[in-house]
Amino acid sequence: MNITIENEHQKNNGVVNTELNSYLLDAKNVPNHVAIIMDGNGRWAEKRNLPRIEGHKEGLNAAKEVVQTALEIGIQYLTLYVFSIDNWKRPYFEIRALMTMFQDFLLKNEDELVERGIKLLTIGRTADLPRSLQNQLMATCKKTEKNFKLILTLALSYGARLDILNAVREIAKKAQSREINLNDIDEKFFKAHLSTHFSPDPDFLIRTSGEMRLSNFLLWESSYTEFYFTNTFWPDFRREEFLEALATFAKRQRRFGQITAKKR
């Protein structure tokens, strides 16, 4: 596992232009699955003396730009940590405003998702969300279900520990009813019972805002994931820095416990 920590003093705007061209020419350098912890919306707003909801609004624009970039360079799977199960502890008015904003954003961009070939999926306890948002999510997922250019997964009211516990419970029930025996249970079998079963494990995980932890996100799936941490708040994380982050991935040697790097 490799970890890159980026700070303001290490940024080099020339990196994208000089290194990215050769990076993009070689498809093997593009990670198949990128996961992102989109952190720092509230702090971005507070730093500008704006209401926190303005940070969430700008964060949605950043997410759209990152999705477009992922599609352009050939990333197959993109998973965004939109709302954790712990985020319900935030002020009610902020949560309500965020849910309404997100629903409107989905509706506004639904046709574009269809046209661009993006398939929308969700993980997490979506039943916790407001009914109107649940309906919008189901409608958008239905409209995009035949798309395949980019699988965009939104983690909503998601917690990896709960996801693992749910998988354990489901497997235990099958064992108790003798549908399976203990020898059937291996990593592949367990993975099939996680909510993320439809996607490969992430190759590359990015976290913005300077925090350096997973925050209950894709814990099982990130065993061999490469990490990138940046001090940039999510609303400021746009195409250029996304490409800079991906350029660092291209330099990684992924060994998966072996002596020599595994070919991509």
Residues classed as catalytic:
39, 87
Answer yes or no: is 209 a known binding residue: no
Structure token digits, residue 94: 């902020």
Answer yes or no: is 117 a known binding residue: no
Structure token digits, residue 51: 């209401």
Distance CA 237, CA 152 (A): 18
Whether residue 229 contacts residue 6, with contact meaning beta carbons closer than 8 Å, is answered with yes
Q: Could you give the strand order of the β-sheet that contains 118-123, starting from the edge strand earlier in sequence? A: 3-6, 226-230, 204-207, 33-37, 77-84, 150-158, 118-123
Answer yes or no: is 42 a known binding residue: yes
Distance CA 133, CA 129 (A): 7
Answer yes or no: is 41 a known binding residue: yes
Answer yes or no: is 40 a known binding residue: yes
Could you tell me which of 185, 184, 117, 124 has the C-alpha nearest to residue 152? 117
Could you tell me which of 187, 197, 232 has the C-alpha nearest to residue 211? 232
Answer yes or no: is 213 a known binding residue: yes
Answer yes or no: is 169 a known binding residue: no
Answer yes or no: is 84 a known binding residue: yes
Length of the chain: 264
Structure token digits, residue 15: 């990196």
Distance CA 218, CA 111 (A): 29
Answer yes or no: is 88 a known binding residue: yes
Answer yes or no: is 215 a known binding residue: yes
Q: Residues marked as binding for substrate?
A: 40-44, 52, 56, 84-86, 88, 90, 207, 213-215
> Binding site for Mg(2+), residues?
39, 226
- Which residues belong to the annotated binding site? 39-44, 52, 56, 84-86, 88, 90, 207, 213-215, 226
